[in-house]
C-alpha cells in the first residue's frame, strides 16, 4: 500500500532494459477537527491517526490525549475526524490564512516564526559522536520504503543509543508529526529524547521540535539559516549533515561530548 | 543574501575542528493579488517577482503578462503585490481551503488532482539518452548556492542540448514556479521545452508542468505513484533518477530515442 510498482525502462550507457520501478504512494488526507475541515495533506498512507494528532499538536490545537473524545479514520475517503471534549477556537488562526513553507510547512501564521514566544529547552541530555554516528547509520537504513523507492523521508524518536519510534512519509513534516502523534496517542514520554530526520531543517521543522522541548535534533541533511538561528535562540543542539562518520554541529555544541569528557 | 555563514564544529572520527558552515537563507514572502493577501511562502530571496507570477500562474490566476497591470516587490517587508487589469475571482478557490502537499504543494483544491480536466500534451519533441546525461550533468552542478550549502533545489528550462533558464530555491515547487514566472515576465516561449528538477516529482509538480504543456520532465530524484499516473494520463515523458549515466523512464518512452533511431 505504501509502494506501487510500475513498468519502467532503465537506460544506461550499456543500453536499455525493461524493469519494475518501485514508487512511493501519495495519499490525500483531509483532517477535520470537531466537524470543521481543517486541512488536506499529501502524505504516505500509514499511521493516519498519528499524523492527524501530530499535525493538530504541531498547530497548537491539542496538547494531550485527554483532550480527545474520538478519532475516526476513514481510509476509503481519506478523512481523519478528530473531536475534542471541549470546543476549540481555531477558525481564524488556521483556516483563514494560507501559509506554505519551503517543503510542506504549515505554520498557521508566519509570525509564529519568532523565538520570543517559545521557552528555551533546558535538558542536560548529552550525546557522544560515536553515538550519533551509530544512531544515524541505523536510522538512515531503517526505512524499507526508502530502500525500495528512494522516495520518502524518515523521522525517529531516539535516546542516545536506540531508535524508539520510527516513521516515514513522502513529506518530511508529516514524518515528524507522525512521531509526535504516536507519542500522544500511546502516552510515550518525550523528555530528554533526540529527534532524527532525513530532511532539511527549516524553521518549521525546528519549531515542531522546539514545541516539544526536544534538546537534540539530528539531520542527515542541512538546516536553513532560520533553522540555525531558532535552534540557537531556543537552546536546541542542531546537528546536520550527519552521515557516515562526520557531522556538523551548528548550535549548543555543549551537548555533544567526546567520550570521557 | 542567498547564503549565510555560521560558525560550526565539524566532527569526524579524526576529531573536531571549528569551521564556517554555509547555509541557505530562508525568506518569508507574502503575495497579494489586487490587494488581497493570498499566501505566504518560505523561499529563497531571489527572483521574487518571478516567483509571485509563477505561483499565480500555477494556481490558474493569471495566464499572460498582458493581464498584469503592476508588480511591486518590497524586499524589506517581504511582500510582492500583483495587480491585474481586470478583477479576479479567487477568494473562494484559494483562500478558504488549506491544502498542503508532500513538500510545499499548493493545489487550491485536491480535486484538481485528476487528469480529466487537463489536455494531453501533444508535442513530438524527442531526446536521446546522451543528451539527457549531458543536460543533467550540467544541471546538477549549475547552482552555486547548492554547491556551497547543499540546501536548495534547482529547476531548469532546457532544450535538448542547453539550459535556457535556471533557478534555485529552498523549495522545489518555488524553483519551478520561478522558471515559469520568468517565462511569463520576459516573453520566453516554452513550447517543445524540457523541465529539469532536482526534486521529487509528486502530483503537484507534475501538474505544474502539465499546465504548461511541457512534454518532457527530467528529475534527479524519483516520482510518487500519482506523479507517474498523471504523467501517463497527460502524455508527459517522465524521467527520474537521472544521475551519472543512468535514468529511469517511467512514462511515454517514445520521446526518448537512441541516436540513429
Tens of pLDDT, residue by residue over B177-212, are 999 999 999 999 999 999 999 999 999 999 999 999
Could you tell me what percent of chain B has a pLDDT over 90?
A: 83
pLDDT digits (tens, 9 = 90+) for A65-82: 999 999 999 999 999 999
The CA-to-CA distance between both ends of chain B, in Å, stands at: 47
Look at B20-34, B102-116, B219-233 and tell me which has the smallest mean pLDDT: B102-116
Answer yes or no: is pLDDT of B157 > 50: yes
**Contact state of B11 with A203 under an 8 Å Cβ cutoff:** no
Higher-pLDDT residue of B96 and A203 is A203
Q: What is the pLDDT of residue B97?
A: 46
**Contact state of A204 with B42 under an 8 Å Cβ cutoff:** yes
**Contact state of A248 with B8 under an 8 Å Cβ cutoff:** yes
CA A84 to chain centre: 23
Q: What is the pLDDT of residue B118?
A: 81
Q: For chain B, what is the total number of helices (H) and then of strands (E)?
A: 6, 13
Q: What is the pLDDT of residue B109?
A: 38
Contact residues, chain A, for B204 at CB < 8 Å: 42
pLDDT digits (tens, 9 = 90+) for A132-153: 999 999 999 999 999 999 999 9
Q: What is the pLDDT of residue A112?
A: 45
Answer yes or no: is pLDDT of A91 > 70: no
Answer yes or no: is pLDDT of A90 > 90: no
Task: Determine which helix (DSSP H) or strand (DSSP E) holds B203, and give its type and residue range.
Answer: helix B203-211
| A-interface mutation test, from B24, B42, B233, most A Cβ less than 10 A away | B42
Answer yes or no: is pLDDT of B243 > 70: yes
Contact residues, chain A, for B18 at CB < 8 Å: none
Q: What whole-number distance in Å separates Cα of residue A196 and Cα of residue A178? A: 13
User: Residue A197 is placed in which grid cell?
Assistant: 530526520
Read off the pLDDT of each residue in B98-118 and give the average, rounded to a whole number. 50
Strand partners for B237: B216
Q: Which residue in the set B110, B149, B226 is minimally distant from A40, CB to CB?
A: B110
Say if residue B84 is exposed, middle or buried (CB neighbours under 10 Å; 0-12, 13-18, 19+).
middle
Answer yes or no: is pLDDT of A128 > 80: yes
CA B142 to chain centre: 15
Contact residues, chain A, for B95 at CB < 8 Å: 96-98
**Contact state of A150 with B222 under an 8 Å Cβ cutoff:** yes
Contact residues, chain B, for A221 at CB < 8 Å: 150-151
Domains of chain A, start order: 27-114 (3.10.20.10), 129-255 (3.40.140.10)
Residue A112 CB coordination number (10 Å): 17
Rounded to a whole number, what is the distance in Å from the CA of A221 to chain B's nearest CA?
8
Q: What whole-number distance in Å separates Cα of residue B202 and Cα of residue B221? A: 11
Q: pLDDT tier at A104 (50, 70, 90 boundaries)?
A: very low
> What mean pLDDT value characterizes chain A?
90
Q: What is the pLDDT of residue A88?
A: 73
Using an 8 Å Cβ cutoff, are B155 and B135 in contact?
A: no
pLDDT digits (tens, 9 = 90+) for A173-192: 999 999 999 999 999 999 99
Q: What whole-number distance in Å separates Cα of residue A2 and Cα of residue B207? A: 22
Q: What is the pLDDT of residue A123?
A: 97
Look at A117-121, A256-260, B64-68 and tell me which has the smallest mean pLDDT: A256-260
Query: C-alpha distances in angstroms, B177 versus B83, B87, B169, B208?
Result: 18, 23, 10, 8
Q: What is the pLDDT of residue B116?
A: 65
Q: pLDDT tier at A106 (50, 70, 90 boundaries)?
A: very low
User: Residue B239 is placed in which grid cell?
Assistant: 524521467
Apex B206 CA angle, B204 and B208, nearest 5: 70
Amino acid at each position: 500500500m505504501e509502494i506501487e510498482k510500475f513498468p519502467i525502462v532503465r537506460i544506461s550507457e550499456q543500453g536499455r532494459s525493461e524493469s519494475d520501478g518501485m514508487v512511493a504512494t501519495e495519499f490525500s488526507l483531509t483532517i477535520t477537527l470537531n466537524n470543521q475541515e481543517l486541512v488536506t495533506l499529501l502524505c504516505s498512507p500509514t499511521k493516519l491517526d498519528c499524523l492527524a494528532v501530530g499535525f493538530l499538536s504541531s498547530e497548537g490545537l491539542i496538547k494531550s490525549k485527554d483532550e480527545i473524545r474520538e478519532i475516526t479514520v476513514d481510509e476509503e475517503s481519506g478523512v481523519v475526524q478528530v473531536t475534542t471534549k471541549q470546543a476549540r477556537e481555531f477558525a481564524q488562526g488556521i483556516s483563514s490564512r494560507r501559509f506554505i513553507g519551503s517543503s510542506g510547512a504549515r505554520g498557521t501564521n508566519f509570525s509564529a516564526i519568532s523565538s520570543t514566544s517559545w521557552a528555551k529547552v533546558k535538558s542536560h541530555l548529552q550525546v557522544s559522536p560515536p553515538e550519533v554516528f551509530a544512531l544515524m547509520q541505523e536510522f538512515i537504513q531503517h526505512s524499507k520504503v526508502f530502500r525500495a523507492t528512494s522516495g520518502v523521508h524518515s523521522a525517529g524518536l531516539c535516546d542516545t543509543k536506540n531508535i524508539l519510534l520510527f516513521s516515514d512519509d513522502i513529506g518530511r513534516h508529516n514524518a515528524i508529526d507522525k512521531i509526535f502523534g504516536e507519542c500522544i496517542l500511546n502516552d510515550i514520554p518525550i523528555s530528554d529524547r533526540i529527534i532524527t530526520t532525513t530532511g532539511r531543517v527549516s524553521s518549521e521543522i525546528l519549531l515542531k521540535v522546539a514545541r516539544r522541548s526536544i534538546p537534540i535534533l539530528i539531520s542527515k541533511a542541512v538546516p536553513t539559516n532560520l533553522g540555525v538561528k531558532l535552534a540557537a535562540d531556543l537552546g536546541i543542539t542542531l546537528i546536520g549533515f550527519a552521515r557516515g562518520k562526520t557531522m556538523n554541529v551548528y548550535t549548543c555544541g555543549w551537548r555533544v561530548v567526546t567520550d570521557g569528557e
